Amino acid sequence: MREIIDPHTHVLPKMDDGSRGTVMSIEMLKRMKAMGITVVCGTSHYYRRDESIREFCERREAALDRLSEVLTDDLPRVIPGSEVAFFHGISEEEDLEMLCYEGTRTLLLEMPFTDWTSSNVDEVRSLVLDRRLNLILAHPERFLFSKSNKEYLRRLAEMNIYFQVNGENFTSFFTRKEGLEILKMTPRRLLGSDAHNTEKRPPNLDAARSYVSRKMGAEELERIDEAACRLILGT
């Protein structure tokens, strides 16, 4: 049976503005399991201004250890990763590979919530072309507030970069059409929950998966799952 992966969550306890402790992490994992998810990536926020990559990885290991103590076999497997906030010089950062999903060269990148510059986009290109990373762009739909970002996204969509659209787009009648549009910007697409907690930003991939399956077909959902397996599990 194929693994169903959630590539973007803040399930690791007390790492960032996500899960506030192991009890909440377990509740999130239970809900994800009920949605058919078998592998959950703990992609805690990494901010260059706050800590070094090594410090972040040490904290993450401790969080994963705490979670492992209470994680039971019936729950989804948790894989460490990170959601790396873009920073100037990222393409030349020596330790960047440590932020990839464990055991891969796949990086989840969060672009700045500003108007992007051409030098920002050049660095993103360099991550793919020079650094040879598999790049996943976290929630591109959240950057569409600017016309120039939209144009940059169109250009990035032509490269070997995956667009990971958030599940929350598909939980509301008012945003799901837009979610679908951005999914259609590229053939390289993924769905992630970006779940932070059990309250305002809960696990939500069930709505996204059924909407995409309805509108794009069950085969397309399968392609999305296959891509996630390839990028994150290497299978």
Q: How far apart are CA 30 and CA 210, in angstroms?
A: 19
Q: Which two tokens stand for residue 51?
A: 């800590």
Instruction: Please give the sequence-ordered ranges of beta strands (E in DSSP) within 86-200, or none if there are none.
Output: 106-110, 134-138, 161-166, 189-192
CB of 77 to Fe ion, least distance (A): 19
Encoded one letter per residue, x for contact with Fe ion by CB under 5 A and - for no contact, window 45-84 reads --------------------------------------x-
DSSP annotation string for 168-205: GGGTSTTTHHHHHHHHTT-S-EEEE--B--SSSS---H
* Nearer of residues 6 and 194 to Fe ion, judged by Cβ: 194
* Nearer of residues 83 and 141 to Fe ion, judged by Cβ: 83
CB of 18 to Fe ion, least distance (A): 8
* Nearer of residues 207 and 216 to Fe ion, judged by Cβ: 207
Q: Which stretch binds Fe ion (CB under 5 A): 26-34, 127-135, 141-149, 186-194?
A: 186-194
Coil/strand/helix, residue 84: strand
Under rule CB under 5 A, residue 16 binds Fe ion: no
CB of 219 to Fe ion, least distance (A): 28
Nearest residue to 60 via CA among 84, 38, 37, 36: 84
Provide the residue type at 201 as one letter.
Answer: R
Q: Which two tokens stand for residue 21?
A: 């402790």
CB of 20 to Fe ion, least distance (A): 16
Position of minimal CB gap to Fe ion: 194
* Nearer of residues 57 and 216 to Fe ion, judged by Cβ: 57
Task: Choose, by CB under 5 A, the member of 6, 141, 168, 194 that binds Fe ion.
Answer: 194
Q: How far apart are CA 228 and CA 192, in angstroms?
A: 10
- Report the interface residues with Fe ion, using CB under 5 A: 83, 194
